[in-house]
Structure 1
Amino acid sequence: MVLLSFDIEEFDMPFEYNKDIVFKDQISISIKGCEIILDLLAKYQLKATFFSTAVFALNAPGVIERIKNEGHELASHTYYHSKFENADLLKSKQVLEELSGMKVEGFRMPRMMPVSDEEIEEAGYIYNSSLNPTYLPGRYNNLHIPRTYFKQGKVWQLPATVSPKFRIPLFWLSFHNFPLWYYKHLFHLSYQKDGYVNIYFHPWEFTDLQQKEKYGFPFYVSRNSGVKMEERMDALMNWISKKGYPTGTISNFIKSLT
């Protein structure tokens, strides 16, 4: 199964590069990207999981309504994107459930940072998708973590997909920088080996990020953003559809393991 997921959040990433962005723009940029994503999913009749911060959901009720009405999954991306405390695990879950009327069963930590499995279990989640089992200088050193799903206590751990050999990550940065044929090649190898792939993106990637004075991003972040990202995502979803790979929500996939 192909597990497409999108981390929907207030677009605060420019702060990491010492650039300011007002809250209104953080929300509007992510809303616009979500609409593009949802339109593409509808075009190819694919299902996905959306990890939302409570802050974004509260400011984008129309997006949450579409996620619900179009048969996708809503999961937690904690309460705020740029700050976190353990109480936010339960608080974000409660806000998302009250706002959407959907059951929230999954969690992903912003920037795939470490989070307490005990606290996740206590908050009532059935799975955690906050692991990137690869090595990226200055970000991750997770070569000791299993490549594929495993259970820790009562919580299923679903790492982001990396290739069977060399653990090359298939996450959003790879999608921006690899030739599309090579990304598909790694995707296919991973699917053949594991029987599924778990890949994730963000709505703000569908904005032109190459305005360095405005966002401050290096080339490897801004490359193939905006319209090019929309074209590449359209091509990827079209390829997934033509290959006959089934797609589904992460919660349904996890429940199939039990």
Structure 2
Amino acid sequence: MVLLSFDIEEFDMPFEYGRDISFADQISISREGTIAILDILDKLRVKATFFCTVTFAENIPDLIKRITESGHELASHGYYHSDFKPEHLLQSKLKLEELSGKEVIGYRMARMMPVDEKEIEKAGYSYNTSINPTFLPGRYNNLQVSRTYFNKENVLQIPASVTPLIRFPLFWLSFHNLPLGIYKALVKWTYKKDRYLNVYFHPWEFTDLDNFERFGFPGYVTKNTGLKMIERMEDFIAWMKSKNYPFGTFQEFLKTIKK
């Protein structure tokens, strides 16, 4: 099963590169990208999971409705994207359920940072997908963590997909920077081994980021964004469908594991 997911959040990434951006712009850019994502999913008739912060959800009620009414899953990405307290785990779950009218059973920590699994269980989540089981200098060193799903503290852990053996990460930056044919080959290798794929992206990737003065992003972040990203994602999804890889939400994936 292909677990395609999107971390939809207030677009605060320019702060990491020494740029200021208004809250209104944070919301509008992520909103634009979320609409582009939903249009792609509608066009190609696939389901995905949206990990959403409460801050963003409160500002896009129409898109939250569209996400749930289209059969996608809404999960928690925290209360805020740049601030975390343990109490936010439960608070974000309850608020997203209130806003959507749907049960929220999954969590992904902002920026895939570590989170206490006991706190995840206490907040009532069934699964956590906050682990990138690879080594990225200055960001992750999770080579000791299982590459595929496992249980911890009564919560199913579903790490982001990395390739067998060398643990090459298949996350959003790889998708932007590798030739698409090579990325597809790595996906094919990983899917054949694991029988599922867990890859994630963000709405701002589907917008025009080629303004260095405004955002401060290096070329490896902006490469193949905007319209190129839309075309690339449509190509990638269509390719996976041609391989008869089934798409599903994390909720649906959990049901297959429990059988």
- TM-score under structure 1 length normalisation: 0.99
2:212 aligns with 212
Could you tell me which runs of 5 or more consecutive residues in structure 1 were left unpaired when the two chains were aligned: none
1:118 aligns with 118
1:239 aligns with 239
AA paired with 1:44?
L
2:9 aligns with 9
1:100 aligns with 100
AA paired with 1:242?
S
1:46 aligns with 46
**Residues 141-172 of structure 1: CA deviation (Å, up to 9, x unaligned):** 00000000000021000000000121000000
1:29 aligns with 29
Secondary structure, aligned partner of 1:257: helix
Q: Does 1:223 align with 2:215?
A: no
**Residues 25-75 of structure 1: CA deviation (Å, up to 9, x unaligned):** 101111111111111111111010000000000001111001111000000
Secondary structure, aligned partner of 2:74: strand
**Aligned ranges 1:123-202 → 2 under 5 Å:** 123-202=123-202
2:77 aligns with 77
Aligned partners of 2:45 and 2:227: how far apart in 1? Answer: 21
Could you tell me which runs of 5 or more consecutive residues in structure 2 were left unpaired when the two chains were aligned: none
Aligned partners of 1:128 and 1:22: how far apart in 2? Answer: 31
Aligned partners of 1:229 and 1:170: how far apart in 2? Answer: 15
- TM-score under structure 2 length normalisation: 0.99
Deviation at 1:108, TM superposition (A): 0.1
AA paired with 1:3?
L
1:252 aligns with 252
Structure 1 segments (4+ residues) deviating >2 Å: none
**How large is the Cα RMSD of the aligned pairs?**
0.6
Secondary structure, aligned partner of 2:130: coil
1:55 aligns with 55
AA paired with 2:238?
N
Aligned partners of 1:153 and 1:23: how far apart in 2? Answer: 37
Aligned partners of 2:238 and 2:255: how far apart in 1? Answer: 27
Aligned partners of 2:165 and 2:230: how far apart in 1? Answer: 29
Secondary structure, aligned partner of 1:151: strand
Aligned partners of 2:238 and 2:256: how far apart in 1? Answer: 26
Deviation at 1:243, TM superposition (A): 1.5
Secondary structure, aligned partner of 1:74: strand
Secondary structure, aligned partner of 2:51: strand
